[in-house]
């Protein structure tokens, strides 16, 4: 009886827009860690840029299904520090915007303020630049000279928004290298 009610409720809801919420953080590191924790727990979430009036020292927030607010809070409590969960006020800025520039022998991917350049023939990363975040010199030493497929993930090694944007650039570079992205 309860299962059939739940099934009907979900089917009715399928035709309606899902209310979205934002989990707000004070640091980029907390936002990135929270995304990992929630995805591992099976929640649908994505990193977004919150509206300026909702930023509390961090340029990242997690967009979630607001219906799951209590479960999200319970999952994060004790694992990741967050400031609160609030209803979304319109569309959030996506963080998946990459720009691809092709040169004769190289491809450059710009994601946010970060750039990653790789050799089109060998798949070796020849340069990263941008950002000015403190972890970028370290990431430079870890990535430059490494094949795309063997490169460590910047989001796992870094702690800043620059590292996250560099990770998005690496994802796009891997798609291009594997032939998934349009030429």
Q: Which residue segments constitute the domains of the chain, with CATH numbers given?
A: 16-87 (3.30.70.260), 98-177 (3.30.390)
User: Is the pLDDT at 92 greater than 50, yes or no?
Assistant: yes
Q: Can you tell me the distance from the alpha carbon of 20 to that of 69, in angstroms, rounded to the nearest whole number?
A: 10
The model's pTM = 0.64
Write down the pLDDT at residue 183: 45
In the β-sheet with 61-65, what is the strand arrangement from edge to edge? 84-87, 20-24, 61-65, 45-49, 93-94
Using alpha carbons only, give the angle 113, 115, 119 rounded to the nearest 5 degrees.
Answer: 175
* Residue 168 or residue 96, greater confidence: 168
Which is nearest to 122 in space by CA: 149, 154, 153?
149
Q: Which residue, among 87, 71, 67, has the nearest Cα to 23 in the 3D structure?
A: 87
């Amino acid at each position: 009886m309860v299962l059939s009610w739940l099934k009907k409720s979900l089917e009715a809801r399928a035709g309606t827009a899902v209310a979205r919420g934002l989990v707000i953080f004070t640091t980029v590191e907390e936002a990135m860690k929270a995304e990992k924790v929630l995805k591992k727990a099976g929640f649908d979430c994505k990193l977004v840029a919150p509206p300026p009036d909702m930023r509390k020292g961090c340029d990242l927030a997690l967009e979630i299904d607001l219906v799951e607010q209590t479960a999200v809070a319970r999952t994060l409590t004790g694992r990741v520090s967050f400031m609160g969960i609030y209803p979304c006020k319109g569309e959030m800025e996506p963080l998946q915007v990459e720009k691809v520039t092709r040169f004769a022998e190289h491809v450059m991917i710009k994601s946010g303020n970060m750039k990653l350049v790789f050799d089109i023939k060998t798949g070796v990363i020849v340069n990263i630049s941008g950002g000015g975040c403190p972890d970028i010199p370290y990431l430079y030493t870890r990535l430059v000279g490494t094949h795309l497929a063997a490169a460590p993930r910047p989001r796992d090694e870094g702690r800043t928004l620059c590292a996250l944007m560099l990770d998005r650039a690496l994802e796009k570079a891997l798609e291009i290298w594997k032939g998934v992205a349009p030429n």
